[in-house]
Amino acid sequence: MEGTVFDIQRNSLNDGPGIRTTVFLKGCALNCLWCHNRESIAVKPLLRFYPDKCQNCMECVTVCDAEAHLDLEGKHAVDFARCVQNWDCIQVCPSGALVKTGKNMSIEEVMQIFLKDRDYFDRSGGGITLSGGEPMIQYEFSKSLLAECHVQGIHTCLDTTGYTPWERLKSMMACTDLFLYDYKETDPKKHKEFTGVDNILIRENLARLNDAGAAIVLRCPVIPGMNDNEEHLGEIARLSRMYEGIREVHILPYHTLGIGKAEQHGIKAEHVTFSIPDEKIKAHWWTILNSHDAKNFRIF
Ligand code: SF4
Ligand code: SF4
């Protein structure tokens, strides 16, 4: 069995307990305005262009029958909309300016990478984390990979939006030690506006996971002016008190790290960029959460 992986990060410290290897799978049903992994949304691999590495040799223009590479008076440019993903250009590019984001990997290939860090996992209480995108889009692969980790005695985390049929999420409990569960917005209409879907299924699945005894870290991206209001932060606090399964709440302030990466994939940031919260704003969030008796929360 194979999955489409777009990145594997070893020595990761913020994707669950201890030192972890995080595998990023392609595909997501949501499209958050603030997404910092926009290249992950499509399941299929994408062409990535690093302008800084380009030597303007025009080898790619010569081989691309789709005319996705352009020679603009000696300066190379890419028309990503024309790309038909046959990767001919990558083969001839002399400088590594063109790469493919997303490759098919077998369970065995991914496990070989995990097992390199086995000692670190054991000594730090770490393990592996499946992230994305949304790993549940590649459900069969995700389930088989985490099950194999358990066979090898490796701790597993599943980073999920929760936007998936309950029967699937339930079946992941047998191979998932800790769910990193996203909670993005409380108001269903705003949730749809921000992410493309409402939050009804996400909230239902959170309640079901809790009732079924899962261990959960609630991960909450907070974006100034969008979802940093008292109604939403107060609800995060209420959930942290109400659900015993929620061991910690992680407040993840907005950052802009993904914007350059999106542009290198020809994905226009059609959304506005938001302001990066300063310490004063984060202190305000802390005050709201604290005033609502939020349990075990951290602002990163
Ligand atoms: S992958 Fe193929 S179609 Fe896409 S830009 Fe390269 S050569 Fe052209
Ligand atoms: S082949 Fe590579 S270096 Fe040459 S123009 Fe194309 S992207 Fe630039």
Contacts (Cβ under 8 Å, ≥6 apart) of 62: 92
Rounded average pLDDT over 275-285: 96
64 lines ligand 1 (CB under 6 A): yes
Rounded CA-CA distance 91/136 in Å is 32
pTM for the model stands at 0.94
Nearest CA to ligand 2 atom 6: 60
Domain 46-101, CATH among 3.40.50.1100, 1.10.3720.10, 3.30.70.20, 3.20.20.140: 3.30.70.20
Rounded average pLDDT over 102-128: 97
One DSSP character per residue, 233-263 reads HHHHHHHHHH-TTEEEEEEEE---THHHHHH
pLDDT digits (tens, 9 = 90+) for 187-237: 999 999 999 999 999 999 999 999 999 999 999 999 999 999 999 999 999
What is the Cα 289 distance to its own chain's centre? 25
Nearest CA to ligand 1 atom 1: 87
Terminal C-alpha separation, the chain? 36
* Per-residue pLDDT at 272: 62
Ligand 2 atom nearest to 49, measured from its CA: 7
281, two tokens? 């704003």
Q: Are 188 and 165 in contact (CB under 8 A)?
A: no
Q: Are 251 and 183 in contact (CB under 8 A)?
A: no
Nearest CA to ligand 1 atom 4: 83
91 lines ligand 1 (CB under 6 A): no
Ligand 2 atom nearest to 89, measured from its CA: 1
pLDDT digits (tens, 9 = 90+) for 7-30: 999 999 999 999 999 999 999 999
State the burial class of residue 153 (Cβ atoms within 10 Å of its Cβ: 0-12, 13-18, 19+). Answer: exposed
Rounded CA-CA distance 42/26 in Å is 6
49, two tokens? 């262009």
Nearest in space to 121 (alpha carbons), one of 13, 219, 7: 13
Q: Provide the 3-class DSSP secondary structure of residue 91.
A: helix
Q: Which of 54, 63, 86 to mutate to test the pocket of ligand 1 (most atoms within 8 A of CB)?
A: 86
Domain 2-43+102-299, CATH among 3.20.20.80, 3.20.20.70, 3.90.1150.10, 1.20.1250.20: 3.20.20.70
Q: Is the pLDDT of residue 96 over 60?
A: yes
Query: From the CA of 67, which ligand is nearest?
Result: 1
Residue whose entry in the numeric block shows the structure tokens 């063109």: 98
List the chain domain ranges. Answer: 2-43+102-299, 46-101
Q: Are 128 and 157 in contact (CB under 8 A)?
A: yes
